[in-house]
Amino acid sequence: MTSTLDGGLGELDIPLSAYWAAADVGLDGARDRAVAALRRPPDFAEGLWDLDARWESDLAAWTALCTQHGNLLGDRERFAELGVLVEVAGRTAASVPVVGAALVAIALSGRDDESLTALRAGTPGALAWEGPGQRQVPVLFDGHLDGGVEFVFDGGAAQVLVVVAADADGRALVCRVDDSVNVRRQRRAVADPTRDLVSLRFERVPATVLAEGAEAAALLAELESAAAVVMALDALGSAQAALDLAVEYAKRREQFGRLIGSYQAVAHHCSNMFVLVENARSLTRMAAWAHAWDLPQAALAASQAKSTATENAVEVGRLAIQVHGGIGMTWARPTHVHYKRAWVDRAALGSARHHREQITATLAAADPRNQPPMYRTPF
């Protein structure tokens, strides 16, 4: 599949959304195959009642996935294809370390081919970065890292670690940890039981600089945009799963001699969820293609997707639990698992509020006289 605006499409006077929509249709088969590979049994939430089953990466599933799709990591032109795996991981509540791998691969691409090859083969990776606005970052001095990062996706099992740090003068750096064994890790027991989230502590840990100066600034901007899209895609998957569960339950649960889906209040909940999911789908998949194609609107589209899709997913999860009633918050049903996962997606790697501020700043700085007609823009 091509990820460029060619094949004659560039000569047509059509909205930008038509480009990504046409390209995205080609990924439907990949989504179906990914769902089949990562699908969990309907009662998987019951197993998460055991604390030992929570907050762990499923490395076996990840290795199997990388045998077929590992080459997508670090290839920007195929970012939308990688996004299929992220979205399906959210939809199946899979514990595969795809978030960490996707972001680490961006930092390694063109800078450390050996580590990127290992990552593509299934070696778990993590990016030690809390997102824009992180108050303190580890400091690199004399080739060694000191400091800590509080919330790191997929950090518990990560062997390839990339850190957003600073030098002694406070200038931003991106570096690779040379000795991941000696990094101290502490599990973060967050509400979402499907996520491998840890705190990392570095004490004189050797590291190699991957990017500094202007290159580091450009890489951080790319990471912020990519992280926003990744979180939005995962939230979209969670929202779709919650909607599917609610509709399936409403079609078979009876109360007062009638299926509950026949009651107007329940039907309205399902309709509202559908609208929220479709809105999130449009913004999120568009943002994935904009990032893959490195379009000028990519950062704006990423902020739109993160701020909207993650909040929509939280609301869809809430409504899905309402449709289920009390059972929706028990381990007998996985509805609340998707709801909790959406909460993490909303808060992590740049909050919805931060991205709304980015949207406002971008639009306020734009000169409308130099903007194309609205039908040509991504919003």
Predicted confidence at residue 62, as pLDDT, reads: 92
pLDDT at 320: 96
Residues of the chain with pLDDT under 70: 1-17, 367-379
CA dist., res. 305 & res. 311, Å (int): 10
State pLDDT tens for residues 290-331.
999 998 889 999 999 999 999 999 999 999 999 999 888 888
- Buried b / exposed e over 199-218, threshold 16 CB at 10 Å, is bbbbeebbbebbbbeeebee
pLDDT score of 21: 76
Question: Is domain 9-216 given the CATH code 2.40.110.10 in the classification?
Answer: yes
**pLDDT per position as a tens digit, 250-279:** 998 888 889 888 888 999 999 999 999 999
Where are the chain's structural domains? Answer: 9-216, 217-367
Residues in Cβ contact with 338 at an 8 Å cutoff, skipping those fewer than 6 apart: 90, 93, 238, 239, 241, 242, 245, 317, 320
Exposed/middle/buried for residue 29 (C-beta within 10 Å: 0-12, 13-18, 19+): exposed
- Condensed to tens digits (0 to 9), the pLDDT of residues 154-172 reads 999 999 999 999 999 989 9
Of all residues in the chain, the percent with pLDDT exceeding 70 is 92
Predicted confidence at residue 88, as pLDDT, reads 94
Q: Residue 378's pLDDT is what?
A: 44
For residues 71 and 103, give the distance between their C-alpha atoms in angstroms, rounded to a whole number.
14
Count of helices and strands (H, E) across the chain? 12, 9
**Topology of the domain covering 217-367:** Butyryl-CoA Dehydrogenase, subunit A; domain 3 (1.20.140)
